[in-house]
């Protein structure tokens, strides 16, 4: 397979062994939720939650194909019910609640299922007084096919995060390529600490929308992790290989004091 960035010819196995990072140029390719769990958590420590929540089609949304059909296709393609995977596990022995949005399933967009699973997981994290880590990868943000209900998931998850925060718990947001729109404008940027993988696209409005509005050339590296770091919206850019170690270290720094 060729690297989408440097075009070098790579062995799939080598790429997989490096969690989809190009061994030649270090380009970070999308990583499935299952692989993300394997990358971040101690072996076999993941206890997946709320696996039986499935999407439905409350709007009866039809574009080129009906949303209900699109869902079945996506489920068949990915083997997932919807874009979110949530649960509890250990990072080098530290207990955490981990949520992941998987770009493979409808570009990681947020509908009712993503909102509901995240909210329940965050509520559990609050109840168990555990650190929360959300790894976001979402191209479009809110899922258009669920209309206003997907917009409301932004509020719903934000409410749960505000309570997790009020309970004195740590939330580390990990932004991966791409984190845009309603996902960026809600939980992805509500962390106590915000980390980003290198060269991820992160922002509110899509480049095309901006171009259509302002009609001026967008600056080089616009809406990348590095751009956000430079403008003060990201704490650290972390290479995928170092993410697990960094997360463990940050969890230690922000451990609740016993006194």
Partner 1 sequence: MKTPQPLAFETEIHEMETIVSKLEQVPAIGGNSEEIKRLRRELTGLIRKKYANLTPWETILVSRHPARPQMMDYVESIFDEFVELHGDRAFGDDQAIRCGFARFGSNKVLVVGHQKGHTLKERQACYYGCAHPEGYRKALGKMKLAAKFRVPIICLIDTPGAFPGIGAEERGQAQLIATSILEMFRLATPVICIVIGEGGSGGALGIGVGDKVSMLEHAYYSVISPEGCAGILWKTANEETKPKAAEALKLTSKYLRDFGVIDDVISEPLGGAHRDPREMANTLKNYLQRSLRELAVHSKEALLESRYQKFRRMGFTLEASTGMTSPAM
Query: Binding marks (x or -) toward partner 1, 175..214, rule CB under 8 A?
Result: ------xx-xxxxxxx-----------xxxxx--xx--xx
Which stretch, 36-44, 48-56, 94-102, 128-136, contacts partner 1 (CB under 8 A)? 48-56
CA 6 to each of CA 16, 24, 171, 196: distance values in angstroms, whole numbers, following the listed order:
17, 8, 34, 21
Binding-site size for partner 1 (CB under 8 A) equals 67
Task: Rule CB under 8 A: say whether 93 interacts with partner 1.
Answer: no
Which of 223, 225, 238, 251 touches partner 1 (CB under 8 A)?
223
Task: Rule CB under 8 A: say whether 115 interacts with partner 1.
Answer: yes
How large is the greatest C-alpha to C-alpha distance in the chain, in angstroms?
Answer: 59
DSSP 101-146: E-TTTGGG-B-HHHHHHHHHHHHHHHHHT--EEEEEEESSSB-GGG
Residue 210 tokens, joined: 């901006």
Tell me how far apart the alpha carbons of residues 73 and 68 are, in angstroms, rounded to a whole number: 9
HSE (side-chain half, CA atoms, 13 Å) at 50: 25
Which of 10, 29, 80, 151 touches partner 1 (CB under 8 A)?
151
Q: How far is the CB of 116 from partner 1 (least distance, A)?
A: 4
Task: Rule CB under 8 A: say whether 44 interacts with partner 1.
Answer: no
Tell me how far apart the alpha carbons of residues 73 and 79 are, in angstroms, rounded to a whole number: 10
Task: Rule CB under 8 A: say whether 127 interacts with partner 1.
Answer: no
Name the residue nearer to partner 1 (CB basis): 115 or 137. Answer: 115
Residue 207 tokens, joined: 């480049």
The C-alpha R_g of the chain, in whole angstroms, comes to 18
Q: How far is the CB of 169 from partner 1 (least distance, A)?
A: 14
Provide the binding-site residues for partner 1, judged by CB under 8 A. 52-56, 58-59, 61-64, 111-113, 115-116, 119, 141-144, 146-156, 158-163, 165-166, 181-182, 184-190, 202-206, 209-210, 213-214, 216, 218-219, 222-223, 227, 231-233
């Amino acid at each position: 397979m060729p690297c989408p960035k440097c075009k070098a010819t790579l062995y799939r196995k080598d790429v997989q062994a490096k969690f989809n990072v190009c061994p030649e140029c270090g380009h970070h390719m999308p990583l499935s939720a299952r692989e993300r769990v394997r990358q971040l958590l101690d072996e076999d420590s993941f206890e997946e939650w709320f696996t039986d929540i499935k999407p439905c089609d409350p709007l009866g949304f039809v574009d080129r194909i009906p949303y209900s059909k699109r869902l079945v296709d996506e489920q068949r393609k990915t083997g997932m019910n919807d874009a979110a995977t949530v649960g509890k596990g250990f990072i080098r022995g530290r207990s955490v609640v981990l949520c992941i949005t998987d770009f493979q399933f409808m570009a990681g967009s947020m509908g009712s299922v993503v909102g509901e699973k995240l909210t329940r997981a965050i509520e559990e994290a609050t109840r168990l007084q555990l650190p929360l880590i959300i790894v976001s990868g979402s191209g479009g943000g809110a899922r258009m096919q669920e209309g206003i209900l997907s917009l409301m998931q932004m509020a719903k998850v934000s409410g749960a995060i505000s309570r997790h925060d009020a309970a004195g718990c740590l939330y580390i947001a990990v932004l991966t390529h791409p984190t845009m729109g309603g996902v960026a404008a809600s939980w992805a940027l509500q962390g106590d600490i915000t980390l980003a993988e290198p060269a991820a696209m992160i922002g509110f409005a899509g480049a095309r929308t901006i171009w259509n509005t302002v009609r001026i050339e967008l600056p080089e590296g616009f809406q990348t992790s590095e751009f956000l770091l430079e403008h003060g919206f990201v704490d650290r850019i972390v290479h995928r290989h170092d993410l697990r170690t960094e997360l463990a270290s940050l969890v230690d720094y922000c451990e609740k004091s016993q006194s």
